Chain A
Amino acid sequence: MHLQTEVLIIGGGATGAGIARDLALRGIPSLLVEKGDFTSGASGRNQGLLHSGARYAVNDPEAARECITENRILRRIAPHCIEASDGLFVSLPEDGPEYRANFIRACGAAGIDTLPLSPNEALSMEPKLNPLIIGAVQVPDGAIDPFTLVVENARDAESRGARFFLHTEVIALILDGVRIAGARVKDRITGEEFSISASWVINAAGAWVNQILGLAGLKIGIALSKGSMLITNTRLSERVINRCRPPASGDIIVPNDTVSILGTTSLREEDLEHYEVTPEEVSFLVDELSRMIPAVRGERFTRAYAGVRPLVQSAETCDDRTISRGFTLIDHESCDGLAGLVTITGGKLMTYRLMAERTADLICKKMGLHVPCLTHVQRLPGAGLSHALKDRLIRLRRHTPAARGEILCDCELVPREVVDAILREAKVRELQDILHRTRLAKGTCQGGFCVYRLLGVLNEMRKAEGLGGSNRILKAFLEERWKGIRPVLWGISLKEEELIESIYKGLFNLTPEEPGPPEGDES
């Protein structure tokens, strides 16, 4: 098979999907390949914070200004991906009142609205805060759902002609003289290989940037930084809670739907494919974040996860390298004499749209087109829908038990019809494709009951064989789930674990080996 497009985008994180959308809105066709599902990289493994920029106000005013601008844009274009929860920067006695005063000034200079609060005011807004706080400042932080954000970008792009190939890995870049003319790719599920020719290839592979550049004999200096996070069983605060001090690790608690996400750390990582949350990181996060919310210490954690961010180290000097605050856009034609290839890397989730805009601007310039960017004004497709926690609870209303439908996930109140819709609309190649798109298995028992039910649904629809057979999928799911819960197994979570193991290994007798046929089966 051979496909053709104008722009080939490598990487299905926020940047890649954002670029596809930006180009689509400018009428430029693109095709995006991603070796996993959307947000397999750092886009899907961060704290979900919609920065107000306040965190950078003191040390990096440019970055702060950039953040608040994007913050406002995202609230306008993607309100349904965001919980506009606001945030607090709280000062503990050791943080000192001077930093706070400095902080408020710096926010003002960067155009970030602040509201200073007394300790009593802050405690009445957020009763679980450490009663020893000496003050707080309210800022327009929020919580963002990266997966929905990226999927929405992709949906919008797709409706305007962009094409997306998930579970598709780039195995070679196609060279035509001194120009990159496309890529050779492989479907990781079927094994099928095919080629894509494109006038421009954008390397938006995030932390994998060098894996792609290596295919063209190039390399840039990046370091990998691992950040770990803990997820609580219940939501600890209504707002984002930050520490009012020079940015460090263990500073932030982000509310997310029914839970809170505690983070983060920043450790040098060598292995892009194999990394885990260490017990030391867990202890550190518990110790550090319990300074802001003491209840963290006895809190029940349902999961831990880590993400790896690429940090660009600017070693070479090349004046065509556009380095904006934390992100790097490289035109390899100017820098390396290799036309047709552009790399965009670094940055943060917050600034994806800006990164996409700059990248699309560059592509347009190279194409000789003068089409303005529209992504900052055009809203994302689902922007009208709300999804308050309460809405899920409404599902239990008694007058319509039939309309309630079958609830598959008791913890997160996810009904079967959501899964049916995904199976209809999205191309589901593996179980995680379903799990990424719902809150199923994201609650208290982390899929203990609902994944059994979900697999039953797949079996009923005879869709499980295509995914490997349901008990194989179930075991793979349990193994994957294990990675997230193992770091936090003590206290109540350990009880939960005993329950789940007793059901799946005990009652259902799932073992590492494949289940055999029943007794008496002659076949």
Chain B
Amino acid sequence: MTTQNDTRTPPRTFPDVCVRCATCMAACPVSRVTPHFPGPKQAGPGAQRFRSAAESSVDDWIELCTSCRLCDTVCPAGVPISELNLMAKAKYLDERGITFRDWLLVRGDLFGEMAARFSSYVNPLMKNPTVRWLLDKLLQIDRRRDLPCYEYPTFRQWFGARPAADNGNPKIAYFYGCFTNTNETDVGKAAVALLEAHGFSVDVPPQRCCGIPRLGVGDLRGAKEMGGRNLASLLPTVREGTDIVFSSTSCGLMLRHEYGPLLNLPGAEELARHLFDICEYLLHLREEGKTDVTFRPNPMKAAYFASCHLKSLNIGLPALELLRLVPGLDVRLVEAECCGLGGLYGFKKEKFAIAEEIGKDLAEAVARMAPEIVLSDCEGCRMQIRQLTKRTVLHPIQLLRDALL
């Protein structure tokens, strides 16, 4: 039953500009590994000609799309393929109803806070085979997926406990993202350290989950709600003249590119104009000659993986450019397109195998490089690379922080 929802109708003209060239088929990581997903040419502009708002959705394969957006980046005609897929996914899932598992998973920020508080119990439980077996059977969370540990105190709590430094330094705000807050607090700490080293006084405004997990399950209403709340708490920061940086490329993509064009939230463009990837921002400072921060030599062999969402941000590879400034660091780009995790996608039992198969190419590429450390801006990629390669995987800013003089 189609319910009244505020799903925005995709611009009708866009499927029209598709010339069926199949370039997108050369980029899609999902159709590369499984025939169950027909590929972007078919799934997006192809199927769109058969869809009608009045008919119920039959697109049960549409949720196999990971929303990596690589198809968008290669389409010569400018078809917003991933957006078409997202709309179709939203309609399909809306009609089918959200599963309890998905309802739970997209609220990671809420139960994350609780799990963090009780991390000393939760972490061993998440490794307990019986618990994992239960989660697999009851919630279809694949037991083969390594689950991230929770940390306590959370990043927010850590930041709040620091003495406020009223040193008259220019202010900058930081959007940390759920994962940094409860599972990888060191990334947040590194961000703060780097920003302070560049002469800023860091502010952490009130913020909620960016909403991208909800987008991933087609819950546009929920995503819009999160967006509305974040805009309400972040716009004042922007309006007082403070820029905001993010360290998670997925959060960044959501805040900068989906709040406005996709979700039509008022104020989104204003936010976007003052929102930057942290490496993009620091690199920019350097180019404007506004900083003299230098780095200590670090003769490591590092592999840098550019996440799909970073590619969609279309800012180039600023982290890689910064890493090249670390003397002695041998850092090279991993030749692989997508890690396969797709955010929450690879946790789900019915998609685990696909995610793993996609990630295989990345794992092989890393194996060939034999680096001492792997770096990536995206927490999903970091989790996937850790699981697939068993290597040390960090956010570039962690290495940069360690290289600060």
> What chain B residues lie within 8 Å of A235 (beta carbons)?
49
1/0 per residue, CB under 8 A from A, across B315-352: the answer is 00000000000000000000000000000000000000
Given known A-B contacts A238-B54, A392-B50, A396-B59, A445 and B16 have beta carbons under 8 A apart:
no
Contact B47 A388 (CB under 8 A): no
Determine whether the beta carbon of A396 is less than 8 Å from that of B42: yes
Other 20 A-B pairs with CB < 8 A, given A410-B46, A443-B49: A234-B15, A238-B54, A258-B49, A298-B13, A300-B16, A300-B17, A393-B47, A393-B51, A396-B59, A396-B61, A398-B61, A410-B20, A411-B20, A413-B50, A444-B18, A445-B19, A445-B20, A496-B19, A496-B20, A499-B21
Decide if B16 touches A233 in the complex (CB within 8 Å). Answer: yes
Interface members, chain A 348-405 (any B CB < 8 Å): 388-390, 392-394, 396-399, 401
User: 0/1 per residue, B50-79, Cβ < 8 Å to A?
Assistant: 111011101111001000000000000100
Say if the beta carbon of B143 comes within 8 Å of chain A: no
* A393 in contact with B59 given A398-B64, A411-B46, A413-B50 (CB within 8 Å): yes
A284 within 8 A of B: no
A444 and B18 CA atoms in complex are apart in Å by 8
Known: A234-B12, A398-B64, A401-B35. A393 touches B50 (CB 8 A): yes
Of listed B16, B35, B37, B50, residue having the most chain A CB within 10 A: B50
Instruction: Indicate if B36 sits at the interface (CB-CB under 8 A).
Output: yes
Give chain A's interface secondary structure class.
loop
| Chain A residues positioned under 8 Å from B58 (CB to CB) | 390, 393-394, 397
Cβ contact within 8 Å between B41 and A398: no
> Does B37 contact A449, Cβ atoms closer than 8 Å?
no
* Bound CA span A393–B64, Å: 16
Q: Is B52's CB under 8 angstroms from A389's CB?
A: yes
Residues of A within 8 A of B21 (CB): 499
Give the chain A neighbours of B47 by CB distance below 8 A: 393, 396
Q: Known A411-B46, A444-B49; judge A390-B55 contact (CB<8 A).
A: yes
Contacts of B61 in A (CB 8 A): 396-398
Determine if B222 is an interface residue (Cβ-Cβ < 8 Å).
no
Docked Cα-Cα span, A449 to B77, in Å, equals 18
Q: How far, in angstroms, from A143 to B12 measured CA to CA in the complex?
A: 22
In chain A, residues 230-269, which have Cβ atoms closer than 8 Å to a Cβ of chain B? 233-235, 238, 258
| A258 and B50 contact, Cβ closer than 8 Å, known pairs A388-B55, A397-B61 | yes
* A319 nearest CB across to chain B (Å): 53
Contacts of A389 in B (CB 8 A): 50-52, 55
Roughly how many angstroms separate A394 CA and B59 CA in the complex, as a whole number? 7
| Interface check A448, CB cutoff 8 A | yes
Taking Cβ atoms with an 8 Å cutoff, the residues of A that contact B are 233-235, 238, 258, 295, 298-300, 388-390, 392-394, 396-399, 401, 410-411, 413, 443-445, 448-449, 492, 495-496, 499
Proximity string of chain B (16-44) to chain A, C-beta cutoff 8 Å, 1 when within and 0 when not:
11111110000000000001111001110
Name the CB-closest residue of A to B41.
A410
**CB of A215 to closest CB in B, whole Å:** 46
| 24 contacting pairs across A/B (C-beta < 8 A) | A234-B16, A238-B52, A258-B50, A298-B13, A389-B51, A390-B58, A393-B47, A396-B42, A396-B59, A398-B36, A398-B61, A398-B64, A410-B20, A411-B46, A413-B50, A444-B18, A444-B19, A444-B20, A449-B20, A492-B19, A492-B77, A495-B19, A496-B19, A499-B20
Cα–Cα distance between A448 and B41 once the two chains are bound (Å) = 14
CA distance A389 to B54 in the complex (A): 12
B49 nearest in chain A by CB position: A258
Tell me, in angstroms, the Cα distance from A390 to B52 when the chains sit together. 8
Nearest A-chain residue to B63, judged by Cβ: A398
CA distance A389 to B16 in the complex (A): 18
Whether the pair B42, A492 counts as a contact (CB closer than 8 A) is no
A445's nearest neighbour on chain B, judged by CB, is: B20
Supposing A234-B49, A411-B46 touch, asked if A398 and B37 sit within 8 A by C-beta, the answer is yes
Q: What CA separation (Å) do A298 and B13 show in the bound complex? A: 9
Query: B18 — nearest CB in chain A belongs to which residue?
Result: A444
Q: Distance in Å from the Cβ of B207 to the closest Cβ of chain A?
A: 37
A200 CA / B47 CA spacing, docked (Å): 51
Listed from nearest, the 5 A-B pairs whose CB atoms lie closest are: A398-B61, A398-B36, A445-B20, A393-B50, A258-B49
Which residues from B are CB-within-8-Å of A394? 58
Q: In this complex, which of A234, A235, A396, A397 has the most chain B Cβ atoms within 10 angstroms of its Cβ?
A: A396
A492 to B45, CA, bound (A): 14
**Do A410 and B54 touch (CB < 8 A)?**
no
Q: A398 CA to B39 CA in the complex, in Å?
A: 12
Chain A residues within an 8 Å CB radius of B46:
410-411, 413
Report whether B38 and A492 are in contact in the complex, using a CB–CB cutoff of 8 Å: no
Q: CA A392 – CA B48 in complex, angstroms?
A: 12
**Alpha-carbon gap, A66 to B58, bound state (A):** 40
CA distance A390 to B51 in the complex (A): 7
Among B37, B42, B51, B60, the residue within 8 A (CB) of A410 is B42
A499 contact set on B, CB distance < 8 A: 19-21
Q: Beyond A394-B58, A396-B47, is A492–B20 a contact (Cβ under 8 Å)?
A: no
Taking CB atoms, residues of chain A closer than 8 Å to B41 are 410
The closest CB in chain B to the CB of A498 belongs to B19
A401 touches B16 (CB 8 A): no
Residues of the A chain whose Cβ atoms lie less than 8 Å from the Cβ of B22: 449
The interface residues of chain A lying within 8 Å CB-to-CB of B48 are 234
Q: How many angstroms between the C-alpha atoms of A401 and B35 in the bound complex?
A: 7
A443 nearest CB neighbor, chain B only: B49
In the assembled complex, which residues on chain A have CB atoms less than 8 Å from the CB atom of B56? 390
Q: How far is the CA of A26 from the CA of B47 in the complex (A)?
A: 45
Q: Which residue of B lies closest to A232 (CB)?
A: B16
> What B residues does A298 contact at CB under 8 A?
13
| Docked CA distance A496–B16 (Å) | 11
Q: Which residues from chain A contact B36 at a C-beta distance below 8 Å? A: 398-399, 401
